[in-house]
Amino acid sequence: MSGTAEGAREAPGLRRRLGTGDAVVIGLGSMIGAGVFAAFAPAARAAGAGAGLLLGLALAAVVAYCNATSSARLAARYPESGGTYVYGRERLGEFWGHLAGWGFVVGKTASCAAMALTVGLYVWPGQAHAVAVAAVVALVAVNYAGVRKTAWLTRAIVAVVLAVLAAVVVVCLTSGEADAARPAFWSAPAREASPGDVSPGGVSPGGVLQAAGLLFFAFAGYARIATLGEEVRDPARTIPRAIPVALGITLVVYAAVAVALLGVLGGDALGRATAPLADAVRAAGVPELVPVVRVGAAVAALGSLLALILGVSRTTLAMARDRHLPSVLAAVHPRFGVPHRAELAVGAVVAVVAATGDLRGAIGFSSFGVLAYYAVANASAWTLGPGEGRPPRIVPVVGLAGCVVLAFALPLASVVSGAAVLAAGAASYGVRRALAARGA
């Protein structure tokens, strides 16, 4: 454990400008993003029935709560940019910090590309890649101008998305179609068998786990609050307050949306939907709301992309300080107080992936690494002492076990690609250590 365990290292340049409200909004901008417009259909399909979807949502929320609690306690102890990269380094050793940071930067860079592509697909499907690149460039410019501007833009985005979701929920729950669909609420989606699917007509434990894995990433945005540890005021109080508040609001919103979708479409139609919220308002007899939902989806994806770039650049900054990434990326802009080189580098990589990649591949690539990141966070929280704000012991245990189980419940392609990413990260650490030893 390095000497920074006794207190945070103040990096030159980063300024503590964010209050609790700002931190909550940034977390909401990450969690209530594009996933709510797309995740319920594949999750319902994996779960096998409406009941399985709600069970998967509840399980994802439990794991997310444990992760959030562990992250909050650690962030209060180590209020530095970098999140679990810092916690793993300080509590478990340099290798585990490196592995967590590697999984986060690589996985979330792919998630950034996925969000950018989502914007393109909703705004201009025929030119999705070009729109995606333009969105990345615009939001990197916003982040470059300073974190306070980012917080205010995120506040506006969250307000728009919540208004759209509220309209969808009200329309669906007050529609006559809701009464007609209730008999199908618990039914399993009718579909052809495929690897990992469950047989129609029932709830499978494996299906519930896979649904929870798919829905978990909708909750994962609270990490963005922790990675801003050097930019919030009074982090020992602000971060532990902001994370559970943001998570609780997100859970309420997601539960309301899930019930509304199942109430109108039923488990069968929801499992087959390609744009579930748009399909739901159309089925509820309000097709004029469909364009509003499309705009809301694009705005939500922009909000997620904005917060993701913010978090990835801060973890890149922390790793560059410790030379786990090129040290040139550790620079902080003297005027704007942001890690400008890290943000430009992350933006460039995301733009390339968004210009050349595909949405499904980008999402699958990121999944395994994010769960590995949170597994390290829970293992780190387990090592906290009673005087260090340690959470109840059951919290990191459930969080760690949940991350491992959900990671290996993902589709095989996601597990294989994610494991390969972590192996590459471990190999890079070994090469770095070998070169350092040779230089010494």
pLDDT tens, the chain, 440 aa long: 444 433 334 444 456 667 788 888 877 877 877 678 777 888 888 887 678 889 999 999 899 889 988 988 898 888 776 778 889 999 999 999 999 988 888 888 888 888 888 888 778 878 889 999 999 999 888 877 765 555 677 778 788 889 999 999 999 988 876 555 554 555 555 444 344 444 444 668 888 998 898 888 677 766 667 666 667 777 777 877 888 888 889 889 999 999 999 989 887 888 887 778 888 999 999 999 999 998 888 888 887 787 788 778 888 888 888 888 888 999 988 887 788 899 899 999 999 989 987 776 676 677 788 889 999 999 999 999 988 888 999 999 999 999 999 999 887 888 898 898 899 999 999 998 888 888 65
pLDDT score for 178: 57
Q: Is residue 3 part of a domain?
A: no
> Which residues make beta-bridge pairs with 232?
18
pLDDT score for 157: 79
Q: Is residue 7 part of a domain?
A: no
Q: Is residue 234 part of a domain?
A: yes
pLDDT score for 369: 84
pLDDT score for 195: 40
246, 221 Cβ separation under 8 angstroms: yes
- Collapse the DSSP code of 147 into the 3-class scheme (helix H, G, I; strand E, B; otherwise coil) and give the result: helix
Q: Is residue 326 part of a domain?
A: yes
Can you read off the two tokens belonging to residue 46?
């994996």
Structural domain count of the chain: 1
The parent domain of residue 191 ranges over 17-439
Pick from 152, 161, 120, 132: nearest CA to 32: 161
Q: Is residue 12 part of a domain?
A: no
pLDDT score for 268: 80
Q: Is residue 25 part of a domain?
A: yes
CATH code of the domain containing 132: 1.20.1740.10
DSSP state for residue 391 in the 8-state scheme: P
Q: Is residue 31 part of a domain?
A: yes
| Total-model pTM | 0.77
Can you read off the two tokens belonging to residue 372?
């590995």
319, 85 Cβ separation under 8 angstroms: yes
**Ramachandran bin of 234, using left for φ above 0, alpha for ψ from -120 to 50, beta for the remaining angles:** left
pLDDT score for 364: 66
Q: Is residue 108 part of a domain?
A: yes
What is the DSSP code string of 23-58?
A: HHHHHHHHHSSTHHHHTHHHHHHHHSSHHHHHHHHH
pLDDT score for 49: 66
255, 58 Cβ separation under 8 angstroms: no
Find all residues with CB under 8 Å of 87, minimum gap 6, and list them.
71, 74, 75, 78, 97, 100, 376, 377, 380, 381
